[in-house]
Structure 1
Amino acid sequence: MTEGAADGRDRPLLLSVNQEGGRLNALDWPDTVQLPGNAALGLAGSAELAELAGAAIGRQLRAVGLCWNLAPVCDLDTVPSTSAVSCRAFCADPVVAGRLAAAFVRGMQSARVAATAKHFPGLGGVAADPHHRTPVVERLAPGCLLPFEAVIGAGVASVMVGSHVVRELDSRPAFASARVIGLLTCPCRLSTDRWAAWPRPRSQRWPPVSTWSCWTRRSPAAATACARLRTTCGAALP
């Protein structure tokens, strides 16, 4: 499948996968090395170990033809925190989380696998599980943007925008909010957390969003974003 995707002439597919380590591993085959998750790396507090973990996951993905990983989680494990985050986060300290996430990104992308920082602008302090409902918070948790700033500085190839609502910024979910996305200043591709049928009257539902529609709106940064992904994963992109 990965060979067929790469062989596309006009629009080759860029396949992504969730391989975070810890409890979320799409590749759980017997011969695949399963690494501890972010919480374990957070307890160790070693950027060197985080970079090695990212590189190991990246090499395994690249070996089976995958070149885009939806990791690392850059959310903070703050209280209250949804069980959808918990051990998937590095820790509650934004400075430490940013340092480890940036190291993880460097390791993964050294294996020519594009990394993804998620779930912007951060799920820290969100109590509801975004896989089952749309979480709503009044404001951003303190320091929640620092890990994203760190991974952007490390050259992360893409950013996943969350499906939660931050009322101080917008009444729409983050992935559908120009104000939230406007907080990003990096030339990254953006992907979205999920496509759910929100419990609103049809007349109040915003237009459907395609996978790539939220990224930079064909701004001057778009060419840089494509170049970064090509450099990282060696894939031809539309």
Structure 2
Amino acid sequence: MLGKRANRSPPRRAMTLTVKAGQLLMVDLPGPELDPDTARHLSEHGIRAVCLFKRHIVSEAQLTRLCSELRELLGPETLIAVDQEGGGVVRTDFWPFPPSALALGAAQDLALTKEVAAANARFLRSVGLNWNFAPVLDVNVNPLNPVIGDRAFGSDPLKVAEHGLASAEGLMEEGVAACAKHFPGHGDTATDSHLTLPTVNRTRADLDRTELLPFRLAAAAGMPAMMTAHIVFPALDAERPATLSPSILNGLLRREWGYEGVIVTDSMGMQAIDGNYGRGPAAVQALQAGADMVMALGRREVQLETLAAVQSELDSGRYDPQPALGRLSRLATRFPAERRDHPSASADAQLFQHAWARGLSTLGAVRRPVLGGPALLVVRREEVARNVSEAGLSARFLQRALAGLYDLALHEYDDPAGLDWPALRGRADTQGAALLLATTGRLRADFPGLKTEAAPDLHLCLWNPYAVLDVPAPALVTCGFRPEALTALRVFLAGEAEAGGRLPLTGLERAT
């Protein structure tokens, strides 16, 4: 169990006019400083919850100051959230990077998963952050999924649940609220809800066995919060995405499963919602469907539009906010936004490095290139940040990470369709060089003309694990591109350690 389940919500009672719409909303800020105009906006509308992204974070000192100012302004029930999942979704760059969920799934050690989450929480609490939008409980069963990748613990629903609960325990033991996402599951989509409205056409029986299993177990264990997915599940609601569906939130999650924690929406600025339903109407629908908090991220105009729509619903008496306010109050009281010292930062950094190394995995008959020998590395020039990841990997950074291992030549590309694989293979063979291909993107790349006879000697799979399906070569899979992952890669290539991870994914049968 994740802790004592909260008492059931108090009986519904008449709404009072003292309730402000902002008490049910989470917003973001225009920049890294709490300027006077933003402070007035937050205070005027009673907003008590803020989500921070990379653009809000400059340094550890600045982040500590910002969290302190927010708590002083918003009061003792302030919620300051961040997506600090690990792997490709990390908002800070001045702390060591926690391993991805996939790396932990590959390490197959629940105690390690919990230890990593606890260390992650200690970093967050050291600046005053009290809510982490993790763990990801999506079951990654679709090789074409463009948004989950290294964010999932794997494709086995029970193992995803076990690692997710272990991660939540670690976060909460160190004073940070956990939030399971993306309910009912984003693992079987081939489209990104940041860009469009996905549909998952599985039967209820299939959903129960796969997507829903980790969330059902999390609800039973007392997960303090869950984030909704902007996805249509026709077997659960033929018309509305989960975020706006009474049958999914109030019906399945609340009544059928008896869930008593906080339900928070994913960002309503994602095109799945914003492009189909409109900010204000969608916020009202989400609250009426059973959400406790609407994530109203974006520029001031859309925040005001959302606030106005929700305030109108409150003033009309059509929505009773008291159950939601009670759940939010209990969450903030249990996990106050107060900073704690972090004396074990150095040990936690070593833990992260160890965990990344434990997740390093191989597919096929991987042979290390000869140290000091010639090697030709084919890699995208720059992998841009995309949506939730906010980061990418450049060819030059990877070149520096491998410096000194080989007499390394770099072949950079921008468009994989322009690569001449027979010519690259011939160039490597003429020079007696190992031909290496690094895939560095969250999205998979099509490599036309890459046949077995021209294949690289080794595929360095540095982000999306399903990229192994695109390259007919033995693969070394790091489960992420962060510096710690590249250190683990280097140590293996130098012959100083083995790769003991086992990729926790199905659908890799075509990989060499």
Q: Give the structure 2 partner of residue 208 of structure 1.
A: 282
Cα offset, 1:82, TM superposition: 1.4
Which residues in structure 2 correspond to 1:223-238 (within 5 Å)?
223=326, 226-231=329-334, 233-235=335-337
1:62-91 Cα deviation digits (max 9, x unpaired): 101100011111000102551211210001
Residue from 183, 189, 198 that aligns with 2:262: 189
Aligned to 2:168: 105
Alignment size in residue pairs: 230
* 1:38-57 to 2 correspondences below 5 Å: 38-57=101-120
What does 1:83-232 align with in structure 2 at a 5 Å threshold?
Answer: 83-139=146-202, 141=207, 142-170=209-237, 171-181=239-249, 182-184=251-253, 185-195=258-268, 196-199=273-276, 207-209=281-283, 213=287, 214-215=291-292, 218=321, 223=326, 226-231=329-334
5+ residue gaps in structure 1? Answer: none
Structure 1 residue runs of 4 or more that deviate by more than 4 Å after TM superposition: 9-12, 216-222
Q: TM (normalized to structure 1)? A: 0.86
Contact 1:48 1:103 (8 Å CA) reproduced: yes
- In the alignment, the residues of structure 2 paired with residue 179 and residue 37 of structure 1 have an alpha-carbon distance, to the nearest angstrom, of 33
Structure 1 counterpart SS, 2:248: helix
1:28 aligns with 2:93: yes
More off after superposition, 80-89 vs 65-74: 80-89
Shift, 1:210, TM fit: 6.3
Whether the 8 Å contact between 1:191 and 1:211 is mirrored in structure 2 is no
CA distance in structure 2 between the aligned counterparts of 1:89 and 1:81, rounded to whole angstroms = 14
Cα deviation digits, residues 104-141 of structure 1 (max 9, x gap): 00000111111110000011211111111110122364
User: How many Å separate the matches in 1 of 2:280 and 2:327?
Assistant: 29
Greater fraction helix: 2
What is the rounded CA distance, in whole Å, between the counterparts of 2:106 and 2:196 in structure 1? 30
Aligned-residue offset at 1:7: 1.6
Q: Pick closer, same or farther for the CA change 1:212–1:188 going to 2, 3 Å.
A: farther
CA distance in structure 2 between the partners assigned to 1:210 and 1:160 by the alignment: 17
Moved more, 91-100 or 2-11: 2-11
Check the 8 A contact 1:163/1:174 in 2, yes or no: yes
- Once the two structures are overlaid, the 10-residue window that deviates more, 1-10 or 43-52, is 1-10
Asked if structure 1 preserves the Cα contact closer than 8 Å seen for 2:199 and 2:233, the reply is yes
What is the distance in 2 between the residues matched to 1:65 and 1:223?
23
Normalised to the residue count of structure 2, the TM-score between the two structures is 0.42
**AA of the residue aligned to 1:3:** S
- Cα pair 2:262 2:331 within 8 Å, conserved: no
Q: CA deviation at 1:8?
A: 3.2
In structure 2, what is the Cα distance between the partners aligned to 1:9 and 1:127?
40
Q: How high is the sequence identity, in percent, across the aligned residues?
A: 33
Root-mean-square deviation (Å): 2.7
Note the C-alpha offset of 1:146: 1.6
**Greater displacement, 58-67 / 206-215:** 206-215
How far is 1:99 from its partner? 0.5
Q: Tell me whether 51-60 or 136-145 shows the greater mean CA deviation.
A: 136-145
Structure 1 residues 47, 198: CA separation in 2 closer, same or farther (over 3 Å shift)?
same
Greater mean alpha carbon deviation, residues 20-29 or residues 144-153: 144-153
- TM-superposed deviation, 1:40: 0.7
User: Amino acid of the residue matched to residue 227 of structure 1?
Assistant: R
Contact 1:187–1:221 (CA under 8 A) maintained in structure 2: no
Determine if contact 2:244/2:282 at 8 Å carries over to the other structure.
no
